[in-house]
Amino acid sequence: MTSNSLAYISTPVKALNDNEVQQLRADTPACENLIHFNNAGSSLMAQPVYQSVLDHLAAEQALGGYEAADKAPLNEFYTTFAELLNAEPSEIAFVENATRAWDMAFYALPLSACDRVLTHVSEYASNYLALMQLAARRNITIDIAPSDSSGQVDVAAMEALITPQTKLIALTHVPSQGGLVNPAEEVGLLAKKHKLLYLLDACQSVGQLNVDVKAIGCHMLSGTGRKFLRGPRGTGFLYVKHDLIESLDPPFIDLHAAHWSAPDKFEWAAGAIRFENFESFVAGRIGLTAAARYAMDIGLARIESRVELLADYLRLQLYSVPGVEVHDLGKKRCGIVTFTKADEKPENIAARLRAVGINISVTLGSTAQLDLGARELPAVARASVHYYNSQMEIDRFCVELQSGWD
C-alpha cells in the first residue's frame, strides 16, 4: 500500500449525512420521479451545472458565439481540472469525449515495429480496437497481463511480461463492464521501475473515486464529462504530464493546437493545448468545469465512500433476489454493479424497469470480448449508483427486479 492510502486512514472520511444527501437530491430534480442507476452510462446533471450550460447558450444567442466566449472564464476549465486531478493547468486539455482524449495521447506516442504494449483484459473496447489497429498498421505487439484470483490485473504477472521492447502500459482504471477497480497505483510503481509510459483510462473513475495523477504515477489520463462527473454529454478531458508533452506528436493539428509562424514553419502550442482542437462545445466546457467544481465541493473522498457503501448494499440486496447472479470482480469494487437473472435477458430487464421509471443499462459481451466474452457472458445488466442515490431506491429496484420473476 502506498503512503497515499495511509494518509487516507489517518484522516477518516466524514460520511455524507442525510441532510446533505437530501440537498444533493434536491439539486437533481429527476430524483422525484426517476431512479437513475445509469450513472456509468450518463449521469444526471446537477442543477447548477445544467444552469451554467443554459446561461452560456443564452449568451451565445444574445451576443454571438465568439463574443460570448470572450466574456466567459474559459481558463477555469484548466485550473479546475488541475485541482481535481492534482496536476498543472498546462497539463490539461479539453477534448470532446474520453475516447478521442485517449486517442490523442495514444496515437501521438512514438510506437514503431516490434514495440510492445502491455494491457489487461479489462481494457475498454475502443482502446483495444486502437491497439489492434496499430498492431496491424505498425506491427506493434499487444501483451495481455493476466488477472489475479480476484479478477483485477495481476501486477506481478504483468511485470513478468515486460521485455526491453515494452514501451507502454495501457490500463483501464474501472472497466465499463464491471465493478472492479484496478490497482492503478501499483501499476504506476511498475511503470516507474521499468521506465515505461503509462496511459490510464479513468473514464469511469474520475467523479466517483479520488483520482490523483501524482499518487497513481500515470503519464497520460483520459476521462469523460457525462459519467460519474455528472457533466454534459459531448465533453471529455486529457491529462498529459508536462515532461512528456514536448516529445509527443499529436495525430491531428490545427491552428489552435499550433501556430503557423512562417510560410514553411509551425510551432506547437505550449502545454497540453496541442491535443485540443479549435472548435468545441463551449457551453459544454463551462458545464464540465461546473461539474468538476460541484464534485470537489462535496469532496471526492466522501463521494467515493458513499458510492462504495451504496454499491455494496445493492450487491448484498441482489444476492437475495431469486435467480440473480452478481458478476463484479476485483478486490476493491465501486459503483458499477453487473448482474444476470435466470430466465430473463438483460435487455428485457432494462426495458421492463425503464417502463416503471428505473434506468439501468446493458453491456454486451461483444463490447468486452476479452472479459465478458471469456467469461461466456453474452450480456450483463449494469446498475451504476452515485452519491445522490439512496437505499430506498435500491430496495424499490430489487422489488421491481424480482416482480418479473414468474
Ligand X SMILES: *Cc1c(COP(=O)(O)O)cnc(C)c1O
Phi-psi region of 357 (alpha: psi -120 to 50; beta: other; left: phi over 0): left
Angstrom distances, CA of residue 112 to CA of 109, 126, 192: 9, 20, 21
- Cβ nearer to ligand X, comparing 224 with 317: 224
CA 320 to chain centre: 30
Shortest distance in whole angstroms from residue 34 CB to ligand X: 21
Q: CB of residue 305 vs ligand X: minimum separation in angstroms? A: 22
Decide whether 188 or 236 has the Cβ nearer to ligand X.
236
Considering only CA atoms, give the Rg of the chain.
Answer: 21
Residue 341 Cβ vs ligand X, minimum distance, rounded to whole Å: 23
Residue 109 or 334 with smaller CB distance to ligand X: 334
Binding site for ligand X (CB under 6 A): 97-99, 124, 172, 175-176, 201, 203-204, 224, 236
Nearer to ligand X among residue 68 and residue 385 (C-beta):
385
In DSSP notation, 130-190 reads HHHHHHHHH--EEEEEPB-TTSSB-HHHHHHT--TTEEEEEEESS-TTSSB---HHHHHHH
Q: CA-CA distance, 403 to 60, in Å (whole number)?
A: 49
CB of 386 to ligand X, least distance (A): 15
Return the C-alpha torsion angle 129, 130, 135, 141, nearest 10: -90
Q: Whole-number minimum distance, CB 32 to ligand X, in Å?
A: 27
Residue 177 is placed in which grid cell?
Answer: 463492464
CB of 185 to ligand X, least distance (A): 18
Q: How far is the CB of 368 from ligand X (least distance, A)?
A: 10
CB of 29 to ligand X, least distance (A): 24
Could you give the CA distance from residue 176 to residue 385 in angstroms, rounded to a whole number?
Answer: 13
Backbone torsions φ then ψ of 56, nearest 5 degrees: -70, -40
Buried b (16+ CB within 10 A) or exposed e, 190-210: bbeeeebbbbbbbbbbbbbbb
Q: How far is the CB of 95 from ligand X (least distance, A)?
A: 9
Residue 136 burial (10 A CB sphere; 0-12, 13-18, 19+): exposed
The smaller minimum CB distance to ligand X, of residues 182 and 390, is found at 182
In the complex with ligand X, which residue's Cβ is closer, 292 or 398? 292
Closer by beta carbon to ligand X, 97 or else 359: 97
123 touches 201 (CB < 8 A): yes
Q: Which is nearer to ligand X, 224 or 305 (CB)?
A: 224
Q: How far is the CB of 366 from ligand X (least distance, A)?
A: 15
Cell numbers for 335: 459503483
DSSP per position, 103-119:
HHHHTTS---TT-EEEE
Residue number with CB closer to ligand X (129 or 270): 129
Q: CA triplet 187, 190, 196: central angle to 5 degrees?
A: 100
- Do residues 372 and 326 touch, judged by C-beta distance below 8 A? no
For residues 290 and 253, what is the distance between their CA atoms, to the nearest angstrom?
A: 28
201 or 371, CB closer to ligand X?
201
